Each structure stands twice: as C-alpha cells, then as structure tokens.
Chain A
C-alpha cells in the first residue's frame, strides 16, 4: 500500500509524472464534459445542458450567499471551473488505482498536498489581487488593521492559515479516502475470506467517498468565494 512515485527533472523543476498525468486527465474530462454539454445549446434545455445549468445555478447560489452579484458575477467562471475540476479530480481515484512497480500512477490528483495547496495559494492570491484591484491599495491595506490595529499580526497569520486549511482540508479528505480504499483492497492479499469480507466496507466507503468528494468540491468553492468576498466587499 505504500507507493512511490516516478519523478522527472525538467528545466530544474521536479515533476511527479503521476500528478502530471492525473491533472491532464482531470482537465480533459472537465473540458469534455463542459464542452459536450454546451455544444448544442437551446432555449429549451435538455439532458446535459440541463445538468450544467443546474451546476451554474448552484455556483451562482454559492456566490450569492457570500457577496452581491454585482461584484461576485465575475467569479462565476472561476467557481464553476473549480468545483467541476475538484469534483472530477476527487472522483478519479475512487473506482481504481493503478500502480506499476509499486509506483502509483492512477489516483486523485487532489490526494496530493502539492496540488491542493497550489490551488489554495492560487485562490488566496486571486483574492488579494482582486482586493487590490477593486478596492485600491489604500483600502485593501487598511483591511489588515481592522477592527483593531494590534490585530495586524493575527490578520497576517490568518492569510496563511486560510491557505493551509483550504488546501490541506481537501488533500486530507481525499487522501484519507483513497488510503482507506487501498487498505480495504489490500485485505484481499491476506486471503480470499478477508477479501470477500472486505468488499462490503469497500462498497460503503466508496459511496461515502463520492459523498465526501462532492462535499469537498463544494466546500473548496464555497471557501474560495468567502475569501474573495472578504477581500472584495466594502462592508467590513
């Protein structure tokens, strides 16, 4: 159950080839779902268009619950891409995992803290970028000294804490899910009886992981919007 990873060095950067593969797969799947669903758009939606419009309305609901639509509308594409990318990523590791020579190839890309923290840092960086752009440097800077001046260090810590919790929450949930699945699968190595017995908790855990993956995608998007709203909105 302890798998290594194949790495490659390129231009001084270290690539985990499994991550590269799974990021590509996730992106391609999300792209295909979105593009195929929106290929034949009609005023009376059916099938996939209906589903995607439901997703759009869902993300709209998330944004509307954190900020007003006038400022939040621009984040709709970000939220949609995030929730679908993370959901698909979370699902990828569930049906199976592929390991070649004890090197794990097929897994959820979100079961890797590097990936989730990259997304989290991106989101927090975006929130700072939009905070400066939409409120100006002065008002953006003043936010760090509210409501009391001595809270400034806490505010700085908060930013890092936000980033870490956002990334590690997602990583922890997905990684734990996959780890338990791997453990249940490894039961079958210790005998046919244990293997058959292990199928039932595995089915249950897979169902639960689908639920957890969906919830985590939702939470990640929700928190993204909360952080963005915190930086962007004026009424604080």
Chain B
C-alpha cells in the first residue's frame, strides 16, 4: 500500500526526468499539431464559414433582386393591363362613333334617295299627266272629227270648201 501513497515516487525520489520529458513531449506535440493539424483544420473551417456567409449573402441578394423584379413585373403587368383597357375602350368608342357615322350617312343617303325618288315620281306623274292630256286631246279631236265628219253633208261641205277657197284667195 506504500505504492498507493507514494504514487510515481516508486523509485524512491522525484522523477525529474519524467517532468522534463512530459513537458518537452507536450510542447512538441502542441507545436506539431498546431502546424500540421489545427492550422489546416481551422483554415478549412474558416473557409467554409466565409463560404457559407457569402452564399447566404448571395442568396439574400438574389432574393431581393427577385423580389424587386417581381414588383416591377407586377407594375408592368398592371400598366399593360391598363393600356390594353384604354386601347379597347378607345376602339369601342371609335367603333361606336364610326357606327353612328355610318348609320347617319346611310340615313342621309336613304333620305336623299327617297327625295330623288319622290321627285322622279312627281316628274313622271307630271309627264304622264301631260301625255294623258295630249292623248285625251288627240282622242277628243279624233272623236270630234269623226262626229263632225258624220254630221257634215254635201252642201255644207261645198260651202266649207268655198269658204276655205275664198279665204285662200283672199289671203293671196
């Protein structure tokens, strides 16, 4: 049980060499690991950290960009819609005006045609009336001459001829 109490002092004294050896070994290990293991490991961890940082920044940036793009697109779409509406309204108005103009023109035309037709009818009527009058006159003359021819006898005929002859002679 003496060993339990004395521990490393089993050799009877203090192992000064162990102290030195442990110190030197640990310091060498520290230096070597710092150079060959921790340094590169820390480097890659830092690199990854900055990589992740920059990736997050880039993602955030592109998200902002996408957002602003979306906003402008929505704005554009809205504008386009308004424009389209205006164009349609314009076209509708124009169409209506044009339609009205066409209707008016055709109405006028119809009026004109009607007037013309009425005038023609009137002139035709007049012509017809004139023609009818002539015909009637001619017919009545014919009838009258026929009637008269029947009623004239020889004596009166002679008398008439004489009268005509006399008139002719007188006029000479």
* Binary per-residue interface labels of chain A (1-34) against chain B in the complex, 1 for a CB within 8 Å, 0 otherwise: 0111101111001111001100110010011001
Cβ contact within 8 Å between A38 and B41? yes
A122 interface residue, CB < 8 Å from B? yes
Interface stretch, picked from A75-83, A140-148, A187-195, A203-211, is A75-83
Given A14-B17, A56-B38, 17 extra CB contacts under 8 A: A3-B3, A5-B11, A7-B11, A13-B20, A14-B11, A14-B15, A19-B18, A27-B25, A31-B32, A38-B41, A43-B44, A77-B38, A78-B30, A81-B26, A113-B8, A114-B14, A171-B7
Cβ contact within 8 Å between A19 and B10? no
Chain B residue at minimal CB-CB distance from A117: B19
Of A49, A78, A118, the residue contacting B18 (CB under 8 A) is A118
Chain B residue at minimal CB-CB distance from A44: B48
- Report the interface size for chain B: residues with CB under 8 A from the other chain: 38
Whole-angstrom distance between the Cβ of B61 and the nearest chain A Cβ: 21
State whether A43 and B51 are in contact (beta carbons under 8 Å apart), knowing that A13-B16, A19-B21, A53-B41 are contacts in the complex. yes
* Binary per-residue interface labels of chain A (98-131) against chain B in the complex, 1 for a CB within 8 Å, 0 otherwise: 0000000000010011110011001000000000
State whether A81 and B17 are in contact (beta carbons under 8 Å apart), knowing that A5-B10, A43-B51, A53-B45 are contacts in the complex. no
A179 interface residue, CB < 8 Å from B? yes
Cβ contact within 8 Å between B18 and A112? yes
Chain B residue at minimal CB-CB distance from A175: B7
Residues of the B chain whose Cβ atoms lie less than 8 Å from the Cβ of A76: 38, 42
* Binary per-residue interface labels of chain B (17-37) against chain A in the complex, 1 for a CB within 8 Å, 0 otherwise: 111111101101110111011
State whether A30 and B33 are in contact (beta carbons under 8 Å apart), knowing that A14-B14, A114-B14 are contacts in the complex. yes
Interface of A is mostly: helix
Cβ contact within 8 Å between A38 and B26? no
Chain B residue at minimal CB-CB distance from A172: B7
State whether A19 and B29 are in contact (beta carbons under 8 Å apart), knowing that A118-B22, A119-B22 are contacts in the complex. no
**What are 16 of the A-B contact pairs (CB < 8 Å)?**
A4-B10, A7-B11, A19-B8, A19-B18, A27-B29, A41-B44, A43-B47, A52-B37, A56-B38, A56-B42, A81-B30, A81-B38, A112-B8, A114-B7, A114-B19, A114-B22
A227 interface residue, CB < 8 Å from B? no
Cβ contact within 8 Å between B16 and A85? no
Whole-angstrom distance between the Cβ of A112 and the nearest chain B Cβ: 4
Whole-angstrom distance between the Cβ of A27 and the nearest chain B Cβ: 5
Residues of the B chain whose Cβ atoms lie less than 8 Å from the Cβ of A179: 4
State whether A80 and B17 are in contact (beta carbons under 8 Å apart), knowing that A27-B29, A31-B32 are contacts in the complex. no
A37 interface residue, CB < 8 Å from B? yes
Which residue numbers of A lie inside 8 Å of B, CB to CB? Answer: 2-5, 7-10, 13-16, 19-20, 23-24, 27, 30-31, 34-35, 37-38, 41-43, 45, 49, 52-53, 56, 76-78, 80-81, 85, 109, 112-115, 118-119, 122, 171, 175, 179
Cβ contact within 8 Å between B34 and A77? yes
Residues of the B chain whose Cβ atoms lie less than 8 Å from the Cβ of A52: 37, 41
Residues of the B chain whose Cβ atoms lie less than 8 Å from the Cβ of A4: 10
Residues of the B chain whose Cβ atoms lie less than 8 Å from the Cβ of A41: 40-41, 43-44
Q: How far is the CA of A63 from the CA of B7 in the complex (A)?
A: 32
Residues of the A chain whose Cβ atoms lie less than 8 Å from the Cβ of B18: 14-16, 19-20, 23, 112, 114-115, 118
B13 interface residue, CB < 8 Å from A? yes
Of A13, A56, A112, the residue contacting B17 (CB under 8 A) is A13
Residues of the A chain whose Cβ atoms lie less than 8 Å from the Cβ of B29: 27, 30-31, 81, 85
Whole-angstrom distance between the Cβ of B58 and the nearest chain A Cβ: 16
Cβ contact within 8 Å between B37 and A38? yes
Cβ contact within 8 Å between B17 and A15? yes
Of A8, A23, A35, A81, the residue contacting B22 (CB under 8 A) is A23
